């Protein structure tokens, strides 16, 4: 089993950055991520050094600018022969080299470091997202397998979930599409609303065995599987055989041949059904 990454407890050294302290205490993490985190730490050190060098220059520039403004020959009154300086003239006094050119160079260097830190952080994020996505998919597959093998306790559907319901235990092959209004876990009873638009106020109280959760994962459907699927433009489930499954608009669509669905020429055409409207037989 992989060892969890942990942070060791110790005092932070005066010469360390926070990121260096955390990196030093981390347990096993991917080398690529650790290299990039170390690179960000070194960039931060370089940035801190430049900022410490920049601050005296900024202070010196401010002091020098204030002195120049103070010494500038302003007119002493409105009748003075000395002209009132324009904004451009005052700006030219305080934006003269060498201070401004040196400060600009520091700003450029700091901006370049900041861009490189962001690019490195994005590289780490892409790496993590790629691997987390793979882990999540593996967990989904594992969860599906565990559910199939009966390792998950049924907890009931949530309000708003679509489900397949069997209205009568004497008609075990007749299922319709419905929506959960509420679930009582103590009684294991559902309050259900019919999804037929012609029956907007029709509700039922049904026990758990007559309610089927529609939660199939893509890997649980294979070509030639026999299933129950909602026939297009209805809310009724009919027997069908899976032909294929495709991604359409970000969702999973199962293409099926419904039983006894031949046209006048005797041809059975594929019909699309949303995966969430499919249940195993």
Per-residue pLDDT of the chain (281 residues; tens, 9 = 90+): 344 444 445 565 665 555 555 556 555 677 888 888 889 889 999 999 999 998 988 888 888 878 877 777 777 766 666 677 777 777 776 766 666 788 889 999 999 999 999 999 898 888 878 777 777 777 777 777 766 665 555 567 888 899 999 988 888 889 999 999 999 888 889 999 999 988 888 999 999 999 999 988 888 889 999 999 999 999 999 999 999 999 888 789 999 999 999 988 889 999 999 999 999 88
Quote the tokens at residue 63: 């002091």
Beta strands in 63-217 (DSSP E): 162-165, 176-184, 189-194, 203-207, 211-213
Of the CA atoms within 13 Å of residue 112, those in its CB half-sphere come to 8
Q: Using CA atoms, how far apart are residues 256 and 184, in angstroms rounded to an integer?
A: 35
pLDDT at position 1, please?
A: 38
pLDDT at position 71, please?
A: 75
* This prediction's pTM: 0.45
Q: Helix 31-71 and helix 99-148: axis angle, to 10°?
A: 150
pLDDT at position 97, please?
A: 60
């Amino acid at each position: 089993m992989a060892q969890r990454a942990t942070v060791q407890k110790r005092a932070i050294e005066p010469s360390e950055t926070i990121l260096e302290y955390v990196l030093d205490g981390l347990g096993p993490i991917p080398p690529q991520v650790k290299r990039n985190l170390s690179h960000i730490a070194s960039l931060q050190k370089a940035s801190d050094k430049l900022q410490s060098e920049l601050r005296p220059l900024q202070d010196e520039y401010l002091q020098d600018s204030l002195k120049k403004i103070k010494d500038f020959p302003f007119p002493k009154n409105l009748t003075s022969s000395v002209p009132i300086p324009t904004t451009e003239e005052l700006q030219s006094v305080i934006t003269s080299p060498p201070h401004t050119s040196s400060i600009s160079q520091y700003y450029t260097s700091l901006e370049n470091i900041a861009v490189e830190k962001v690019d490195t952080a994005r590289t780490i994020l892409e790496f993590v997202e790629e691997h987390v996505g793979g882990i999540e998919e593996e967990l989904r597959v594992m969860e599906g397998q565990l559910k199939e093998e009966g390792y998950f306790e049924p907890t009931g559907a949530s309000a708003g979930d679509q489900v397949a319901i069997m209205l009568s235990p004497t008609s075990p092959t007749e299922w319709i599409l419905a929506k959960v209004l509420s679930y009582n876990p103590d009684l294991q009873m559902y309050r259900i609303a019919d999804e037929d638009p012609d029956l907007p106020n029709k509700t039922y109280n049904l026990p758990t065995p007559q309610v089927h959760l529609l939660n199939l994962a893509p890997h649980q459907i294979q070509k030639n599987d026999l299933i129950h699927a909602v026939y297009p433009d209805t809310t009724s489930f009919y027997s069908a055989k899976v032909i294929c499954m495709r991604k359409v608009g970000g969702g999973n669509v199962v293409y099926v041949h419904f039983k006894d669905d031949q046209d006048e020429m005797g041809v059975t055409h594929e019909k699309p059904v949303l995966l969430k409207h499919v249940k195993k037989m």
